[in-house]
Amino acid sequence: MVWRHAILLEPAASDDPRTDFAELLTPIDPTAPALSVGELSTQRGDGIFESIGVVDGHAQEVEAHLERLAHSAAICQLPPPNVAQWRQAVQAIARECPPGECVIKLILSRGVEHGPAPTAWVTASTAPDNAAVREHGIRVVTLDRGYDSGAPARAPWLLLGAKTLSYATNMAAIRAAHARGADDAVFVSSDGVLLEGPTSSLVLRQGDRFVTPEPGAGILHGTTQLSLFSWLETQGYETGYASLPVSALREADAAWLLSSVRLAAGVTAVDGEPLAYDAALTASINAYLLSPRD
């Protein structure tokens, strides 16, 4: 059975929803209805979120996730999150997590239609079992994201680069990948630049150098990729950000999709063609990603 826990971050009685937060973390029944039908998160997907991996009660890379929450809020013109309040909520819910792997979700919605303040809540639940995918890898297909690489600068209202609640297209991309006999997808801009997976960052190995698409290309800056790069540097590897053509994936010495809960999934095939898969390095990467990280 899936274990679940939830906390609501109540807005303060004052006009500033970011003050007097300490006593306003209210545990709520995660199985009971909690949101108003006027919620803009459910009506319009208008809000942002973060998913944080938890290993044996330790929430991983909390600061990087809080920074990205603040970055997403700025892009979406939501009030700046009170980072101390969110940190406190993460710590409180992490203490409730059972041993093993869990996932904490932070959700900040624009609130109830015509309401005074955003709605914010935090949940924790047991994570799915990703052991097989970490060990055996995934087949990916490249999918056109439908935007060219100038779109993020030309059309900021697309909110590219923010982790918004509007993930219906990301989920549709995963279904399209399944329909093509693959496990996951890699988005490519309409002018042929590699971007990211629908729920993950892409990292390529090119000799002793590891590269990932530039976050400025309208993709999320992955906390797992950032953490992996700092570890790879301690292992003597070079790391970097680059604008990469689709051919770079097909020609890579190895490739991974990285995310906070699944961690590193090695790519075994691209568009039906096999790609070199480094099982030993993937195991070392996942061992690192499962160790306590701040």
The tokens for 138 are 């995934």
The tokens for 178 are 């399944």
Q: Select 21 or 256, whichever has its Cβ closest to ligand PLP.
A: 256
User: Smallest gap, in angstroms, from Cβ of residue 133 to ligand PLP?
Assistant: 15
Among 82, 199, 212, 286, binds ligand PLP (CB under 6 A): 199
Angle at 219 between CA 216 and CA 221, to 5 degrees: 80
User: Smallest gap, in angstroms, from Cβ of residue 196 to ligand PLP?
Assistant: 4
* Region from 32-40, 86-94, 151-159, 197-205 binding ligand PLP, contact rule CB under 6 A: 197-205
Q: Kindly state whether residue 196 participates in binding ligand PLP, applying the rule CB under 6 A.
A: yes
Q: Kindly state whether residue 260 participates in binding ligand PLP, applying the rule CB under 6 A.
A: yes
Among 62, 254, 258, 267, binds ligand PLP (CB under 6 A): 258
Q: Kindly state whether residue 183 participates in binding ligand PLP, applying the rule CB under 6 A.
A: no
How many beta carbons lie within 10 A of that of residue 51, not counting itself?
17
Distance CA 18, CA 164 (A): 21
Q: Which of residues 29-58 bind ligand PLP (CB under 6 A)?
A: 51
For residue 179, the 8-state DSSP code is H
Distance CA 63, CA 52 (A): 10
Q: Select 24 or 93, whichever has its Cβ closest to ligand PLP.
A: 93
User: Smallest gap, in angstroms, from Cβ of residue 201 to ligand PLP?
Assistant: 4
Q: Kindly state whether residue 286 participates in binding ligand PLP, applying the rule CB under 6 A.
A: no
Q: Kindly state whether residue 224 participates in binding ligand PLP, applying the rule CB under 6 A.
A: yes
Residue whose structure tokens are 């406190």: 88
Q: Kindly state whether residue 124 participates in binding ligand PLP, applying the rule CB under 6 A.
A: no
Among 104, 174, 188, 220, binds ligand PLP (CB under 6 A): 220
Strands 25-28 and 4-9: antiparallel
Ramachandran sector of residue 57 (left: φ over 0; alpha: ψ -120 to 50; beta: rest): left
- Name the strand (E) or helix (H) holding 203: strand 201-206
Distance CA 162, CA 27 (A): 27
Q: Select 220 or 275, whichever has its Cβ closest to ligand PLP.
A: 220
Amino acid, single-letter form, for residue 74: A
Residue whose structure tokens are 């790879």: 232
Q: Kindly state whether residue 60 participates in binding ligand PLP, applying the rule CB under 6 A.
A: no
Amino acid, single-letter form, for residue 192: G
User: Smallest gap, in angstroms, from Cβ of residue 156 to ligand PLP?
Assistant: 17
Q: Select 123 or 223, whichever has its Cβ closest to ligand PLP.
A: 223
* Region from 178-186, 223-231, 240-248, 277-285 binding ligand PLP, contact rule CB under 6 A: 223-231
- Name the strand (E) or helix (H) holding 170: helix 168-179
Amino acid, single-letter form, for residue 147: Y
The tokens for 203 are 């990292």
User: Smallest gap, in angstroms, from Cβ of residue 226 to ligand PLP?
Assistant: 8
Distance CA 18, CA 93 (A): 20
* Region from 10-18, 39-47, 71-79, 222-230 binding ligand PLP, contact rule CB under 6 A: 222-230
Amino acid, single-letter form, for residue 205: R
Q: Kindly state whether residue 282 participates in binding ligand PLP, applying the rule CB under 6 A.
A: no
Binding-site ranges for ligand PLP (CB under 6 A): 51, 196, 199-201, 220, 222-225, 258-260
